[in-house]
Chain A
Amino acid sequence: MNLYEYMGKEIFRKNGIPVPDGYVIESASQLKPFKKPSVVKSQILLGGRGKSGGIKFAKSDADLKAAASELLGSKIRNLTVTKVLIEDMLNIKKELYVSIALSRSDREPVLIASNSGGVEIESVPQNEIFTKKIDPLLGYSDFIGREASAFMKLDPEIGKQFRSLLVNLYNVFVNEDCELVEINPLVITGEGNLIAADAKVIMDSDSFFRHKDIVITDPEKTPLELEAQGKGYAFVELDGKIGVIANGAGLTMATLDALTLHNGKPRNFLDLGGTDNVDIVVEAFDLVLKANPKAILVNIFGGVTKCDTVANGIVAAKNKFSIKKPMVVRLSGVHEEEGRQILKDNGIESYPTMMEAIERVVKVSEVQ
């Protein structure tokens, strides 16, 4: 889960990583009286917020009110700004970059740092980027910080602050179960301090059982996706018109791909998972119907998930929700004969292969 900047900075503050003084508001009425030149930052999960007009500067009380009122409730590239962060403006002398990320191929954390901060790291030449893999069983050690400081040619006082920041940043990465902790820019101020001007933190949602304090309000998910998550389904909304229920993430993705290759656009991804429970099938239909598709495709390769159970679930859903939309079902694997008989008895068409079902559902969705 991608955290908002203010949430990331709260974690940084608790872990001894210096961040600018600031506070978050949801309405202009929560503004505190103007004291110092400030930055007003929209809390949305987009790169390039500044270029899109999501960051404003305030040099007076009037500026502050105007900026907050203008940003709150505004839309930036389709995302509505519901919170803004008000922070003291920094006296920026130089901008650095630092992050710790998961390297999937190495299966270990990698530290990335550069003297060229404030721009996307992808645009910085490779020879200006320091990278160092960290053995997760050994953890971070100061020699890594010394190597990084030398590479970046930091002056000794800043280098000292940088090394202590790296200790804390690595602690955040590990203790908060992060996929990424990124500070860009990491600012060297005119006063000679190192301060995290931004915070990008991505936490592993599989770790939430040990982070009970985290409120799961994943801002990148739609209300229907959040509802599905609460009910234990892997569900993604897409912009097509064919509702999809399949079992297994790989098979569900393959179903979407096959539909797309047949010029049929999927409305959603829904993985039923491994289940032998009729109610889970019925609940899945509830979610897909809320997405209002033109037709529904069910693609099941039976194993742990028995075809007759799924068939019973489809019939129960059809009756419960009085489904009139065309439904096409593919059942293959364990108990497929029984499953197809149940569907036939209830007037629902089914096919033994995925390709037949895909072709059929694309055809019926076109006439809807």
Chain B
Amino acid sequence: MSVYVDENTKVIVQGITGHQGSFHAGEMIKFGTKVVAGISPGKGGTKFQDKVPIVNSVADAMSFSPNATMISVAAPFVKDAAYEAIDAGIGIVYILTEHVPFHDTMEIVHQARRKGITVMGPNGPGITVPGKCKIGIMPNQIFRDGDVAVASRSGTLTYEIVEAITRSGMGESAVIGLGGDPVVGLTFIDVLKKFNDDPKTKKIVLVGEIGGNNEELAAAYIKANIKKQVVAYITGRSAPPGKRMGHAGAIIEKGVGTAESKIKAFNEAGVKVADYPVDVPKLLR
């Protein structure tokens, strides 16, 4: 097994008939992801792109033995969709949706923890293991199979960095978007453990941003536990305090969550921090 997903991962899509869900399910299939079923209450019995069966509920999809689900439903319905997947025992739940109330996310994360299920997102671009599996909305063409694992709190910025890594001649072993909300399923420490255990991953890139202390905790963990090379990029150096910079989680509150604090923590842990996204591959050499 590579990081969280591999070529055997069977994925269902909750919200496959929505505008976002259908476009990205199509892209995932082109990438090579095994999309085994789509969920759309009331539309069961039809097919997506004439081949993927659409069913009314996650329970109905269990006959296809899914191990992962991608949730792409409107924010007010995310908690119900996630509970449905957790109740069915699907091991990986990736929530793409933005603007999910964080109280809902807290409950989803705690319920998943009780059942041994991994929640990723909300408000993230997905997870990709090049050549094997892509769940989410990352552009297919930016990846190349390689040994750099990337974890990030943002979307487009991740593509920028991944493309720079690919263009420099290297490639990726896994790319995970944690999500831009204040409460998300995975921390940098969770993914660092996975990257460290993955034999294919030789180098690690963390893309952090202002808000919270996820990066500071990761820095301490790296110092104590990680022998692989880690490089970071932190965005939001120029952000004023008290303002949400697009992501709900990207805010400096009461002096907590500044870029300076995160860069300092990484530097103290021996992690080089790039000034610009395009500098990340240079530091990986």
Q: Do A and B bind each other?
A: yes
Q: Which residues of A contact B (CB under 8 A)?
A: 102, 104-105, 107-109, 122, 135-137, 174, 177, 179, 204, 206-207, 209-210, 220, 234, 236, 238, 246-254, 256-261, 266, 269, 271, 274, 301-304, 332-334, 353-355
Shortest CB-to-CB span from A138 to chain B, Å, is 9
Mark each residue of chain B from 133 to 145: 1 if its CB lies under 8 Å from any CB of chain A, else 0: 0000111000000
> Are A253's CB and B235's CB within 8 A?
yes
Per the bound structure, the CA–CA distance linking A254 and B236 in Å amounts to 7
B232 is an interface residue with CB less than 8 A from chain A: no
B226 is an interface residue with CB less than 8 A from chain A: no
Mark each residue of chain B from 237 to 280: 1 if its CB lies under 8 Å from any CB of chain A, else 0: 11110111111111000100001000000000000000111100
Per the bound structure, the CA–CA distance linking A220 and B253 in Å amounts to 14
Q: Which residues of B contact A (CB under 8 A)?
A: 23, 75-76, 99-103, 105-107, 109-111, 114, 137-139, 152-160, 163, 180, 182-183, 187, 207, 209-214, 217, 233, 235-240, 242-250, 254, 259, 275-278
> Are A252's CB and B103's CB within 8 A?
no
CB-defined contacts of B248 to chain A, threshold 8 Å: 204, 206
Shortest CB-to-CB span from A78 to chain B, Å, is 13
Beyond the given pairs A249-B180, A254-B160, A269-B239, 6 more chain A to chain B contacts, judged by CB atoms under 8 angstroms and listed by A's residue number, are A137-B107, A248-B157, A249-B245, A253-B210, A257-B259, A304-B23
CB-defined contacts of B153 to chain A, threshold 8 Å: 250
Interface of A (DSSP majority class) = mixed
Name the one of A179, A209, A248 contacting B156, with C-beta atoms under 8 angstroms. A248
> Are B237's CB and A260's CB within 8 A?
yes
CB-defined contacts of A248 to chain B, threshold 8 Å: 154-157, 246
> Are B156's CB and A303's CB within 8 A?
yes
Interface of B (DSSP majority class) = loop
- Could you jot down 20 A-B contacts, CB within 8 Å? A102-B106, A104-B211, A136-B103, A137-B110, A137-B111, A174-B103, A204-B101, A204-B103, A206-B100, A246-B156, A249-B180, A249-B247, A250-B235, A250-B247, A253-B246, A260-B237, A266-B238, A274-B137, A301-B156, A333-B159
CB-defined contacts of B23 to chain A, threshold 8 Å: 304
Per the bound structure, the CA–CA distance linking A102 and B103 in Å amounts to 9
> Are B154's CB and A251's CB within 8 A?
yes
Per the bound structure, the CA–CA distance linking A247 and B23 in Å amounts to 19
> Are A355's CB and B276's CB within 8 A?
yes
CB-defined contacts of B210 to chain A, threshold 8 Å: 253
CB-defined contacts of B182 to chain A, threshold 8 Å: 102, 104, 179
Shortest CB-to-CB span from A334 to chain B, Å, is 7
Shortest CB-to-CB span from A340 to chain B, Å, is 17
CB-defined contacts of B101 to chain A, threshold 8 Å: 177, 204, 206-207, 210
In the complex formed, the residue of B with least CB distance to A334 is B139
Per the bound structure, the CA–CA distance linking A207 and B104 in Å amounts to 9
Name the one of A104, A261, A266 contacting B276, with C-beta atoms under 8 angstroms. A261
Name the one of A122, A177, A250, A259 contacting B254, with C-beta atoms under 8 angstroms. A122
Given A102-B183, A105-B187, A247-B156, does the pair A136, B237 have CB atoms closer than 8 Å?
A: no
Closest 8 CB pairs of A and B: A250-B154, A248-B156, A249-B246, A250-B157, A207-B101, A260-B238, A234-B246, A251-B156
Per the bound structure, the CA–CA distance linking A105 and B213 in Å amounts to 7
> Are B238's CB and A257's CB within 8 A?
yes
Per the bound structure, the CA–CA distance linking A250 and B125 in Å amounts to 12
CB-defined contacts of A354 to chain B, threshold 8 Å: 160, 276-278
